[in-house]
Chain A
């Protein structure tokens, strides 16, 4: 049977077909759907862990018990999980252990575009890289086979284009999952004190040597010999781009990008006159191939940054720029993503943007409020950074920073890595104000549960973390809860907390607009009375998608009396988009914004 599947769905399906019943991860684009899709299978255990480090440790525990375990994360998540990663490479595993890193060339949904193939070399862990959904499904099985045969964790690397492209996949019947779990004591292998780790360190090198031999005959490292003039060495999605524009060239397609098949590469090089190494981001293959003394073209022609497409490949190889319309296209306004209508973050960041503060931000939907007109965030580095950075800034600024430093972090992000820095701020007597933007979900990645929502990934009710109690336990004396849809309250509480010399925790609590949409029966939108609107543009400052500004000359069919001499137009609300949150009505000084009633 055939199905059209995304790379992510195919990875989940492949794992299920191979009898994998254990997976852990933390949501992160472009990896999220792997665990979500896997969790729906019968008889599997799958969890959202609070962060990637925990997720990997959970998977290591599962593998140590003898099950086949899958740990899933986006590229930057591997940074968080790097600590256990480098040492599980020494211990090996009992059951198979596969770590999925979903990289994001072009930073479609990320803060950087790091090339995680470097982790394979750095941590001495083999890495497979599929180029489409069928391969994604096949390679996850191969990854588990290699893991079990060589007693090693294995990386499967995807990129956004593999994870989020759909292509045709042949489905197979799942094998019956066999229970291989047992308690097995083996301190020589699993207690990594220096004396034991030194011995395992040598084993790692022996294993890598065996894996290098294996790579030479691994069928997914394959040659396609066509033209003797030009040979392409490539892996993953870029293979498709080159095949698309240069079908006649010869190819060495590497299914395993680490360790490399040195003899196979030499044999390929002997068959062609000129070699191009085609890879996105770092010259990972190129540097290693050059080190073999083989002359190749690579990053001298191809970009270091951004993802490729067939056009980029063609342009780089032919060193030409085919004429296109691009240059002559009229200028059109950008369309950046925006906070949804009715988003609870809007009220909070409207207030923060107007206060004279530096706001350290974090990773989540609310990061979007750095843009005009809210301009409520001044920094974003990584998950959890806002809390430590706010503390560090206020310590460094001393008196100059008094009442001026705020850290904001989402609920899921706070659980991910905001708790220890908050503890640190209490312990080291900081004075910044930390705001948890608590919308009770992991919104940006598509509404995943986490330890403060009260539900597990597989839908069971569970313990729900209480942020207020946690704040007190960590040593924060002043913990306040605000409703971000109440602008007056939000402003006054923020001012009160900023005035204090001790650290504060403010919990800005209101459900995500997307979650509201699922539970609420009817939305009552707001409208602006054109005869009351004074054209002051206060409501426009919310940056709410349904609210737009119209000049009088663009409204020829309406007879509107000017309220002031200078008035040039009015604000208008698109009722079809309005979510009825009423923030704009709170701002309107002339009472022009009201709920749409049946007779209105």
Chain B
């Protein structure tokens, strides 16, 4: 293991399961032998505000927060929120976007438009951009709350963690039935991502 630190930034809207997802990710990384730090702000998160969670891992990690322009993977659970944090990824970094729109109050009130062409804008600035219909896939699998598991599955294809590590962390996080349901979706999405890449 070299001295470099990998930074992941998970962003979205309160209630989307971002903090749960970053917990699962961090425990998986710890169990794989990395030093891990993660940070987010609680308190207001349940009330539909923006949520961001930094996860950093390596041989030795000091700061739990990444600096702008230094994030390896930005993973956004809501389309428009990607833009709010787009100054965080490295120039050659990866951006993963859940293709879901959650309207903020100003859009609901008809005072501001929901930003158009988010995908195009992101693709102009970054070469590795993945758009996933995670919420849609979760709904098709019978539970919209599994969108975060689907996002983790896509993220997992960028990380050097074994399937055993992922299996173990889901089993320690959820009760058996929920663990199996989540793992089933996780494995299918991961396989799908890999087939498309190959």
Contact = CB atoms under 8 A, between A and B. Distances in A.
A322 interface: yes
Contact of B38 (A166, A241, A576): A166
A310 B67 contact: yes
A329 interface: yes
Interface string A321-333: 0101110011011
Contacts of A548: 103, 107-108
Interface of A: 2, 4, 29-30, 108-109, 132, 160-161, 164-168, 239-241, 243-245, 309-311, 314, 322, 324-326, 329-330, 332-340, 365, 368, 371-373, 444-446, 514, 537, 540, 543, 545, 547-549, 551, 569, 576
Given A167-B38, A334-B106, A548-B107, 9 more contacts: A2-B30, A164-B41, A240-B64, A325-B69, A330-B121, A336-B105, A372-B105, A537-B110, A551-B110
B41 A543 contact: no
12 contacts: A4-B36, A164-B41, A166-B37, A167-B38, A168-B30, A241-B65, A244-B63, A329-B87, A333-B107, A339-B47, A543-B109, A545-B105
Given A335-B104, A338-B48, A310 B30 contact: no
Contacts of A330: 83, 115, 121
A310 B63 CA distance: 7
Nearest to A572: B108
A330 B112 CA distance: 13
A548 to B, nearest CB: 4
Contacts of B80: 332-333
A245 B67 contact: yes
B46 interface: yes
A98 to B, nearest CB: 23
Contacts of B45: 337
Nearest to B37: A167
B17 interface: no
B86 interface: yes
Interface in B56-107: 61-70, 80-81, 83-84, 86-87, 103-107
Contacts of A167: 35-38, 61, 64
Contact of B104 (A239, A243, A311, A333): A333
Contacts of B81: 335
Nearest to B135: A576
A109 B108 contact: no
Contact of A329 (B47, B83, B106): B83
Given A4-B36, A109-B44, A549-B109, A325 B104 contact: no
A338 B68 contact: no
B125 interface: yes
Contacts of A326: 68, 87
B42 interface: yes
B13 interface: yes
B44 A547 contact: no
Contact of A314 (B44, B46, B67, B115): B67
A276 B39 CA distance: 26
Contacts of B110: 537, 540, 549, 551, 569
Nearest to B56: A244
Given A2-B30, A339-B47, A545-B48, A309 B108 contact: no
Nearest to A2: B30
B108 A540 contact: yes
A178 to B, nearest CB: 33
Given A329-B83, A340-B46, A311 B67 contact: yes
B137 to A, nearest CB: 16
B23 interface: yes
A29 B44 CA distance: 9
A334 B112 CA distance: 10
B41 A109 contact: yes
A334 B47 contact: no
Contacts of A4: 23, 26-27, 30, 36, 38
A326 B83 CA distance: 10
Given A325-B87, A548-B107, A365 B62 contact: no
B64 A165 contact: yes
A150 B129 CA distance: 59
Nearest to B12: A335
A472 B49 CA distance: 39
A240 B63 contact: yes
B21 interface: no
A244 B58 CA distance: 12
A165 B87 contact: no
Given A165-B64, A333-B104, A372-B105, A160 B41 contact: yes
Given A309-B67, A324-B69, A325-B125, A166 B41 contact: no
Given A335-B13, A548-B103, A310 B66 contact: yes
B144 interface: yes
Contacts of A543: 105, 108-109
A543 B62 CA distance: 41
Interface string B128-166: 000000000000000010000000000000000000000
A64 B109 CA distance: 57
B114 to A, nearest CB: 8
Given A108-B43, A314-B67, A340-B46, A332 B27 contact: no
B108 A324 contact: no
Q: Most B CB atoms within 10 A — which of A108, A337, A576?
A: A337
Given A109-B41, A244-B62, A545-B48, A332 B69 contact: no
A324 B62 CA distance: 23
B95 to A, nearest CB: 12
B50 interface: yes
Nearest to B106: A333
A165 B43 contact: no
A390 B44 CA distance: 27
B53 to A, nearest CB: 10
B40 interface: yes
A165 B45 CA distance: 15
A311 B66 CA distance: 8
A239 B44 CA distance: 27
Nearest to A161: B39
Contacts of B103: 548
- The 4 A-B residue pairs whose C-beta atoms are closest, nearest first, are A337-B47, A311-B67, A337-B49, A109-B43
Contact of B144 (A108, A537, A576): A576
A335 B44 contact: no
B152 to A, nearest CB: 16
